[in-house]
Amino acid sequence: MKQMRIFLLPALFVIFATASVQAAPNPQSPQSPATIASVVDREITTIENLVVDAAEVMPEEKFNFSPESLNIPGSDYKGVRSFAVQVKHIASSNYFIWLPLTGDKPPMDLGTGNGPENLKTKADILKFLKESFALGHKAAATLTTENMLQNPERSKSTRLRLATFGVAHAYDHYGQMVEYLRMNGIVPPASRGKSD
């Protein structure tokens, strides 16, 4: 029963989102009807923009920041991921989650859940992050109403579950990135007013 509920939540989200998009056409531009692939792709684009913008705004010299360095009395940040490792974790998880949908091979040794150890610079980490979201768009494009409930090879999850879990996972770590930015006096781009 628990597995059924876990599956139903993303499925209901996609069905509702598809129905909402179809029910509210944009009068400014002709648009093709929404599909499972286009709805999931839009969700990937939304979290991609949030995560990439947040990663780009963190200065290079603070990219390895961890709240452990703040020594806040009563806190327990010992051993938490640095900002850079948060970004690498999102990217490597994107690959682990979305590769079964595309059937592609990993572009490199992804290492553990914290990403490849050899990626050290902000530029290299951002490139890795952006490429992982490109894979997400490719994964979304594979979804159809006929295959969304199928399990890809070597996976216990449905294709739809994998596609939407990648988005949910990235949101979780985006929230942590936002806190790290604010601990460094940086307002996340998504929280800035138009004049900021």
Among 83-97, 100-114, 124-138, which stretch is predicted with the lowest mean pLDDT? 100-114
| pLDDT of amino acid 10 | 52
Is the per-residue pLDDT at 20 higher than 50? no
pLDDT, residue 145, reads 93
> Taking 70 as the threshold, does the pLDDT of residue 22 lie above it?
no
- Determine the pLDDT at residue 28: 54
Q: What average pLDDT score do residues 128-156 get?
A: 93
138-147 pLDDT, tens digit per residue, is: 999 999 999 8
Give the residue from 65, 121, 69, 131 showing the smallest Cα distance to 98.
131
DSSP state of 106: P
- Range with the lowest mean pLDDT among 11-20, 88-97, 111-120, 129-138? 11-20
User: What are the distances in angstroms from CA 5 to CA 8, 9, 10, 19, 161?
Assistant: 5, 6, 9, 21, 12
Identity (one letter) of the amino acid at 179?
E
| Whole-angstrom distance, CA of residue 166 vs CA of residue 95 | 9
What are the boundaries of each domain within the chain? 35-191
- pTM of the entire predicted model: 0.81
Q: 176 falls in which pLDDT band (50, 70, 90)?
A: very high
d(CA 13, CA 123): 35
C-alpha–C-alpha distance, residues 66 and 176, integer Å: 11
Count of CB atoms situated within 10 Å of the CB of 88: 27
Q: Which CATH superfamily is domain 35-191 in?
A: dinb family like domain (1.20.120.450)
Structure tokens given for 12: 């209901």
How far is CA 102 from each of CA 17, 43, 108, 127, 135, rounded to the nearest angstrom?
A: 23, 18, 16, 20, 8
| C-alpha of 174 from chain center | 8
**How much is the average pLDDT of 22-38?**
69
Please give the distance of CA 7 from its chain centroid, rounded to a whole number.
19
Burial of 43 (0-12, 13-18, 19+ CB in 10 A): buried
- pLDDT attached to residue 30: 66
